Structure 1
């Protein structure tokens, strides 16, 4: 509804290295996204309340 778009890469805890565009596989956002497809709704409970996101693209990076 707010028009905000975010892009992030889900990685293992040891791969984050302070990158703001990486999130841990253990994070609530990553867990909510796992198994979802394009156009799916993702609901995440945050410290500011419940947030609803929509997946509009998925990319996989090999190697």
Structure 2
């Protein structure tokens, strides 16, 4: 099985989510199923159906997180190179057309969150950035058209 790169922070976040599901969400949902079952007729019991659906979701997510954690390869982002863009580094980009600057951290697919400035190394922009150095151009063919960036700095 192929290992999936992840930062220490991302790995710990997945571990916390898994622990919460196992120690808080699962027991809480089991109790909800028991309470709904106590209401009698299960054929028309919406609470019971909802709790069973939630249980299926929780068990599926526990399984998914276990798989992801088992295949994760933690990359030490403190010792990454700063002379070219690599997994874990933060890059400062300038849109060549608008002059607007954006900052992204290159992370694994399970950590990407554009709102937090984290993009996957497997995304089109992530793939375009990897291996580039400050001063180099990055061209992205986006749905809205071609976008050109310059790598200003690697942080």
Shorter-chain TM band? 0.7 to 0.9
Helix, strand or coil for the counterpart of 2:152? coil
C-alpha RMSD of matched pairs (Å): 1.1
1-structure distance, mates of 2:106, 2:133: 15
Helix, strand or coil for the counterpart of 2:122? coil
Helix, strand or coil for the counterpart of 1:13? coil
Structure 2 unmatched ranges of 5 or more: 1-96
Q: TM-score, normalised by structure 2?
A: 0.36
Helix, strand or coil for the counterpart of 1:30? helix
4+ long deviations beyond 3 Å:
none
Q: Which residue of 2 aligns with 1:48?
A: 144
Structure 1 unmatched ranges of 5 or more: none
User: Larger radius of gyration, structure 1 or 2?
Assistant: 2
> Do residues 15 (structure 1) and 111 (structure 2) align?
yes
Distance change in 2, residues 1:19/1:42 (3 Å): closer
> Do residues 5 (structure 1) and 101 (structure 2) align?
yes
2-structure distance, mates of 1:10, 1:4: 19
Asked which structure has the greater RCO (Cα within 8 Å, sep 6+), the reply is 2
Q: 1:34 aligns with which of 120, 127, 130?
A: 130
Q: TM-score, normalised by structure 1?
A: 0.84
Alignment size in residue pairs: 58
2-structure distance, mates of 1:11, 1:22: 6
Query: Which structure has greater helix proportion?
Result: 2
| Shift in Å, 1:19 | 4.9
Distance change in 2, residues 1:33/1:19 (3 Å): closer
